[in-house]
Structure 1
Amino acid sequence: MSGEARFLAVDLGAESGRVFLGRFDGGRVSLEELHRFPNVPVRVADGLHWDVLRLFGETERGLGRAAGRGVRSVGVDAWGVDFALLDREGALVSNPYHYRDARTAGMMEEAGRRVPREEIYRITGIQFIPLNTLYQLLAMEGSPLLEASDRLLMIPDLFAYWLCGERLCEHTAATTTQLYAAGGGWARALIRRMGLPERLFGEVVRPGTRLGGLLPGVREDTGLGEAEVVAVATHDTASAVAAVPARGRDFAYISSGTWSLVGVETERPVISEEGLRYNFTNEGGFGGTNRLLKNVMGLWLLQECRRVWAREGREYGYGELARLAAEAPPFGPLVDPDWEGFLPPGDMPGRIRRFCERTGQRPPESVGEVVRCIFESLALKYRWVIERAERVSGVRAGVVHVVGGGARNGLLCRLTAEAARRPVLAGPDEATVLGNVLVQAHAAGMLGGLGEIREVVRASVPAEVYEPEEADEGWEEAYGRLCGLVGLPSGELAEGGLV
């Protein structure tokens, strides 16, 4: 390509981190993976942590592989809710905690005692889930670590700071904290009422903001020279949704990976009693959009099953697991993927079996039956979320766009089309990286708004279409069973040691 612009995208996920080189010629974009590295949490005496120093070292190694290739800028995206604390000198106070750490147990209830649940939702529009930043900070109340801290940065903001020296928070990541006002800006009155230090919450910038050049040490380590850092849509789901190849707004999206983020796009936050009842969240998107969605546990269930089977000496690739699931009988036992007992790491196959036993279902026995149970449960839960998102928002989702790694799972996409009774358009599988790169192109003045970004995605990556076949009564019966399982209180299932 002549006259192409080159951008580096750092994408940090719950399982791995990647560095990509994106080439943009004004009409199409192509991606080249330069480096991939595992992201493995570390459990020590005080809890479960992210090893961010190693992750940053791997990030620099990946950036260095683009030295001498005329890179204009670098953007970092990562998962939401988790954060780093810095002291007044800008030093890291401690390794950030992992959102699956158990210290947040009981913190949602504690927050509700300080500020009523309805008021928290009215202010922030964010769903109630134990891993939110709010509850992680409440769990640190009285900690010397919190007392020594001067600034909170979300994980992608921390990496941007280490790259260019700017201690700023980006809007889309900040909205995941449940401490950010739905109308914009930190919810400072809520922060005070929660008893949290206001000093932690600094300046917030919008996606597409140019932050400045690389620090001298980073330039030396990577050889990138004059490249600058751009605050992209740093929450990875915000980048992924920016790269949904949709036309108009009449669509639902599923950003499918460890988590499945399922929802619709709106012009502004949608905060209502119905939204609170269904526990929908409102998170910031690129171009001033709002992402009305729910977090569904996603392929985490399969990842944990695979890890347990590997520990038992049974190694399965994802392709083989999909084949075994396709061969298993349809419409078997179901689980609610969002049951809180599935959140921590552990014996996921055993938890699934016990969930089924406690709800009067025959447990899945073979590996294929377990995977089929996960896939059908996810497909039906996606339908449950999409229908309620339509009801809450008024958006009619004529199609479902599946992006992210789950777009490569043909069986899950087909089951989703059948369960949801609407077409599924799968791809791009690297939507987060595409969104990251194209927001950098926007910051460079090469693209206008969201519509132009999505036009480039459509021109660059064809989507695979899964049309629902003729209505099958089996799906309706299964959907009725899934609806009966959604939201079962943990007390009804925990007897006998389910967790």
Structure 2
Amino acid sequence: MKVLILGNQYIAVDIGASSGRLMLSGISDGKMTLKEVHRFKNGFRKIDGHDRWNIDLLIEEICCGLAKVRKMGIEEVTLGIDTWAVDYVLVGSDGRKLCDPVAYRDGRTRDAVEELTTKIPKKEIYKKTGIQFQNFNTLYQLYREDRELLKKTRMIMMIPDYIGYVLTGNAVTEVTNASTTQMMNLRHGLFDEGLLHEAGVKAEMFPPLVEAGTKLGGIKEDLRLEYDLPKTNVVTVATHDTASAVAGTPGRGHDWAFLSSGTWSLLGAELNVPETGSQAFNENYTNEWGAYGTYRFLKNIMGMWIVQCIHREYQGRYTFSELADMAGKVSPFRQFIDVNDERFMNPENMIDEIRNYCRETGQEVPETPGEIVMAVYSNLAMFYADQLHKLERILEEKIEVLNIVGGGSNVALLDQLTADLSGVRVVAGPGEATAIGNIIVSMISEGDLKNIEEGRQLIEDSFELKEYVPSPGKYREIMEKYQKATGGNDND
């Protein structure tokens, strides 16, 4: 076999709600390599009455990670940045942030959807944007933003765009992330003036819109000298982490769906045209913009956030793997829980919240760690199966394969339950799909790959994928009981 080693080295900066990392990649012997070179913690903390991200620390950690790359003897890299969506940084006339960004789980937007939609009806907003209604969308955050701060604001920048701006001095607004604001007009491809007006901002406050794969520039010389960094060329990749995860999903043909399973679970299909019909509106599905002219038609599901909270509340007594093992010894489906209920968004104590939900609904209360985690896994799997069938009805297409990617794809118990409940074959992996998709876009930008199809073939050739075959009809009665108990999970 011909050995192919390309000189280009790539770094994915992938930052989630609880941690971030720098992943080093290249192509060797026809396969994509991937190595973690730096990992750091992330999280919000209460400042001035709001939950805020420490954005300066994130940038410092990126520089520290790049310094490690230089110490490895690597003199030049191409770097892409992806993070979570909807949150933003307000930048003043001096080019500096006015304050640390407020986290989307902060309570300031509670009831904001209901208030704003008395002025513009939901159907009109959905027709314009195709984006689902979530209290934390940027539209509602800006609607509740401090008016005095907005008066001082010269630029509004999404989190990954702001990080790229600090590193390079160049300001852009990348579209996969901008679409999640619920302020982008699907028809015009620009920010919608009417929605901006309700939020109290103007289009010129946002830097120019760019597509995923746009070259941003090199890291500033002062940063290179301060941290002893390699020459770093920054590419504005698909900066919304879900957009990168979908780019990193090895889907084939047109009969597959994706489930990006991390802090959030995002279940949907990649489309060439948005779907904004009445069924999509009623089910609160979203049309987020993807890389290369695609749309991520998906449903937001609370996801592994619930398990992350449980893990934290046990104060390190158990690893995630140990919690999964304990759950595997418990029989599933002992409770029916709507995992997308707002009460699980940011409770003071997740374990107590789950137990209280069960008490209030007259169900068996989970007591042991295994029972609690199995209650979550069971209900996540049922929610996934329910939404997968709704997705088929909306698109009027049969889905044959569900590609599960992200950290949650490593939970074999959850993968098999999802396959059995949905009746759809599950292909799990890669677990690092977000970082991989980030890098794939950089590789295409640099010319090492021709297109996304070639990138997905490279992923399939490079990483281990696991298959879970469903047992047809095994849990049909369980799904019927679940749908009856939860009302079909229509959470608008």
Q: TM-score, normalised by structure 2?
A: 0.95
Q: How does 1:320-339 map to 2 (within 5 A)?
A: 320-339=322-341
Shift in Å at residue 230 of structure 1?
Answer: 0.2
2:156 aligns to what?
Answer: 152
CA distance in 2, matches of 1:323, 1:193: 49
Q: Specify the alignment match of 1:282 in structure 2.
A: 287
Counterpart selection for 1:6 from 3, 6, 9 = 9
Whether the 8 Å contact between 1:170 and 1:204 is mirrored in structure 2 is yes
Asked if structure 1 preserves the Cα contact closer than 8 Å seen for 2:191 and 2:203, the reply is no
Q: Report the counterpart of residue 130 of structure 1 in structure 2.
A: 135
Shift of 1:46: 2.4
SS in 1 for 2:153: coil
Distance apart, 1:41 and its partner CA: 1.0
2:20 aligned residue (10, 17, 37): 17
1:351 CA displacement: 1.1
8 Å Cα contact 2:237-2:442 kept in structure 1: yes
Query: Aligned-pair distance for 1:329?
Result: 1.6
Give 1:468's aligned amino acid. P
Matched residue of 1:462: which SS?
coil
The residue type equivalent to 1:49 in the other structure is R
- Distance in 1 (CA, whole Å) between partners of 2:64 and 2:452 is 31
Q: 1:298 to 1:81 in 2, by over 3 A?
A: same
- Say whether residues 1:75 and 2:80 are aligned partners: yes
Distance 1:489 1:296 in 2: 12
Secondary structure (helix, strand or coil) at the match of 1:115 reads coil
Aligned partners of 2:444 and 2:452 also within 8 Å: no
Does structure 1 conserve the Cα–Cα contact (< 8 Å) formed by 2:272 and 2:295? yes
Moved more, 463-472 or 293-302: 463-472
Superposition RMSD in Å: 1.7
8 Å CA contact 2:179, 2:288 repeated in 1: yes
Alignment of 1:88-127 (within 5 A): 88-127=93-132
How many angstroms does 1:20 deviate by?
Answer: 1.0
Q: 1:419 to 1:240 in 2, by over 3 A?
A: same
The aligned amino acid for 2:451 is G
Report 1:311-322 matches (<5 A).
315-322=317-324
Aligned partner letter, 2:441: V
Distance 1:489 1:20, change over 3 A: closer
Paired-residue identity, %: 37
Contact 1:266–1:289 (CA under 8 A) maintained in structure 2: yes
**Corresponding position of 1:161:** 165
Question: Does structure 1 residue 476 correspond to structure 2 residue 477?
Answer: yes
Matched, 1:248 2:250: no
How much does 1:188 deviate?
A: 2.1
Does the CA-based 8 Å contact 2:258-2:402 persist in structure 1?
yes
Q: 1:482, CA displacement in angstroms?
A: 3.9
Q: CA deviation at 1:47?
A: 0.7
1:493 is matched with none
Specify the code of the residue in structure 2 equivalent to 1:153. M
Unaligned runs of 5+ in 2: none
Q: Is residue 5–residue 25 contact of structure 1 (8 Å, CA) maintained in 2?
A: no
1:42 pairs with one of 40, 45, 48: 45
Q: Return the match for 1:28 from 13, 18, 31.
A: 31
> Which residue of structure 1 aligns with residue 411 of structure 2?
409
What SS is found at the alignment partner of 1:62? helix
Out of 288, 298, 315, which is 1:293 matched to? 298
Asked if structure 2 preserves the Cα contact closer than 8 Å seen for 1:377 and 1:482, the reply is no
Letter in 1 for 2:477: E
Q: Which residue of 2 aligns with 1:383?
A: 385
Distance 1:263 1:55, change over 3 A: same
Cα distance in 1, alignment partners of residues 287 and 232 from structure 2: 33
- State the aligned residue count: 485
Instruction: List alignment gaps of at least 5 residues for structure 1.
Output: 491-499
- Partner-residue secondary structure (3-state), 2:437: helix
Change (3 A) 1:406 1:140: same
Query: Structure 2: which amino acid aligns with 1:181?
Result: N
1:475 to 1:352, Cα distance in 2 relative to 1, 3 A: farther
> Quick one: structure 1 residues 214 and 471, their matched pair in 2 at CA, closer, same or farther if it must change by over 3 Å?
same
